[in-house]
Amino acid sequence: MSKIAMKTPLVEMDGDEMTRIVWKQIKDIVILPFVDLKTEYFDLGLPNRDATNDQVTIDSANRTKELGVAVKCATITPNAQRMDEYKLHQMWKSPNGTIRAMLDGTVFRSPILVKGINPFVTCWKKPITIARHAYGDVYRNSEIRVDGPATAELVVTYPDGRVDKKTIFDFKDAGIIQGMHNTDKSIEAFARSCFMYALDVKQSLWFATKDTISKTYDHRFKDIFNDVFEAEFKSKFEEAGIEYFYTLIDDAVARIMRSEGGIVWACKNYDGDVMSDMLASACGSLAMMTSVLVSPDGVYEYEAAHGTVTRHYYKYLKGEATSTNPMATLFAWTGALRKRAELDGLADLADFADRLEKASLDTIESGTITGDLKNLIDIPEKNVVNTEDFLKAIASRLA
């Protein structure tokens, strides 16, 4: 059988622990037998990040900017315990954070829907994608505990000495205060990524803030989205038959609960944090959730939404076969291959990505599943298998 050809390589970012094992299994069992795979390999596993002073993460992000499409395995974000475990030189920053900052991107997450795993919200028939703004607001705030009567003020000092000042509150007694910010540049990049992604998947884009209450801060988000839409995307949306819809955040939540899905929902940083966990649990499991980072100039990095599944890895190290769900990582590969195919005009590669996804969904729907889905899926016959056998079942459907 001749293999499907590629033109431009994918940037391949390998990772840690159980997902690193699953990464190799996916390549060996369901990709390499069918595709003449071209990648530029970067080892983002923690030992190599430590050995290269994290330069490998920066190199991989720079190469992604040049080639346009990357696929990333889950990686450990070190904490004190990992410092010990891996004898690290430094508590390296989260690779996802580094890559996101370098690509200035927005993360889009959506559930992988299969028959038998029914969202708790019964009217959701199509996936809802959440786009979370990844910069600023309460995540970059300054807070002060006020310990007695005091006047709290908001002060902005410009380089020319000009000062803008407002009273926040005259405290008669103890209390709390918080200051936060965002930048026009970051909000614009967020808006552009969202409009591009919506066009890409041909789904309408919703955006919501609380601009009736926050007449300057949230209103700025609303205005920037509107300006970017009018200037760059309005006619493209019309051509694609999709719409941009702005509403208040509480109205958006109510409407989402009554919708049938098939929407990209842009959320401010905090709203996205809360709503993506709501969406993931309403749809079942993090192992059935895709995630892609899209930069405003159209660079894509595909990954799984879950972590390195440490608990399973420790079992694996003891020689036990684990039933780790490879779906999210598999969909990171199919997403990246499909995007590469689209950019390089390779119809058979795009078709392979579609068929691989379909074969994996069919495998689950026919009852061959990993352990995490056992209590989640409602089908008559369940055959719980380990990761390798699950992937082999997909491969035999594909073949």
By CB under 6 A, name the binding residues for ligand NAP: 74-77, 96, 286-287, 303, 306-311, 324-325, 372
Report the partner that residue 325 touches, choosing among ligand NAP, Mg ion, none (CB closer than 5 to 8 A by kind): ligand NAP
Report the partner that residue 308 touches, choosing among ligand NAP, Mg ion, none (CB closer than 5 to 8 A by kind): ligand NAP
Interface with Mg ion, residue 277, by CB under 5 A: yes
Report the partner that residue 12 touches, choosing among Mg ion, ligand NAP, none (CB closer than 5 to 8 A by kind): none
Interface with Mg ion, residue 281, by CB under 5 A: no
Strand order of the β-sheet with 263-267 is 39-43, 10-14, 69-72, 300-304, 289-294, 106-111, 128-132, 263-267, 204-209, 244-248
Total number of residues binding Mg ion (CB under 5 A)? 2
Distance from C-alpha of 166 to C-alpha of 171, rounded to nearest angstrom: 14
Report the partner that residue 224 touches, choosing among ligand NAP, Mg ion, none (CB closer than 5 to 8 A by kind): none
Q: How far is the CB of 304 from Mg ion (least distance, A)?
A: 16
What is the SS3 assignment for 199-225?
HHHCCEEEEEECCCCCCCHHHHHHHHH
Report the partner that residue 372 touches, choosing among ligand NAP, Mg ion, none (CB closer than 5 to 8 A by kind): ligand NAP
Q: How far is the CB of 53 from ligand NAP (least distance, A)?
A: 19
Block residue for tokens 């749809």: 283
φ, ψ dihedrals at 151, nearest 5°: -105, 125
Q: How far is the CB of 281 from Mg ion (least distance, A)?
A: 11
Determine the residue with CB nearest ligand NAP: 307
Q: How far is the CB of 19 from ligand NAP (least distance, A)?
A: 7
What is the SS3 assignment for 123-137?
CCCCCEEEEECCCCH
Q: Choose between 54 and 137: whose C-beta lies nearer to Mg ion.
A: 137
User: Exposed/middle/buried for 161, CB within 10 Å: 0-12, 13-18, 19+?
Assistant: exposed
Q: How far is the CB of 136 from ligand NAP (least distance, A)?
A: 21
φ, ψ dihedrals at 375, nearest 5°: -90, 0
**Residues in Cβ contact with 45 at an 8 Å cutoff, skipping those fewer than 6 apart:** 14, 15, 16, 20, 75
Q: How far is the CB of 82 from ligand NAP (least distance, A)?
A: 7
Interface with Mg ion, residue 273, by CB under 5 A: yes
Q: How far is the CB of 213 from ligand NAP (least distance, A)?
A: 33
Q: Choose between 129 and 329: whose C-beta lies nearer to ligand NAP.
A: 329
Q: Choose between 263 and 292: whose C-beta lies nearer to ligand NAP.
A: 292
Q: Choose between 98 and 129: whose C-beta lies nearer to ligand NAP.
A: 98
**Residues in Cβ contact with 52 at an 8 Å cutoff, skipping those fewer than 6 apart:** none
Question: Measuring CA to CA, how many Å separate 376 from each of 128, 329, 331?
Answer: 19, 19, 20
Report the partner that residue 307 touches, choosing among ligand NAP, Mg ion, none (CB closer than 5 to 8 A by kind): ligand NAP
Q: How far is the CB of 134 from ligand NAP (least distance, A)?
A: 13
Name residue 14's beta-bridge partners. 43
* Contact characters 102-141, Mg ion, x per CB under 5 A: ----------------------------------------
Report the partner that residue 3 touches, choosing among Mg ion, ligand NAP, none (CB closer than 5 to 8 A by kind): none
- Using CB under 5 A as the criterion, which residues of the chain lie in contact with Mg ion when the complex forms? 273, 277
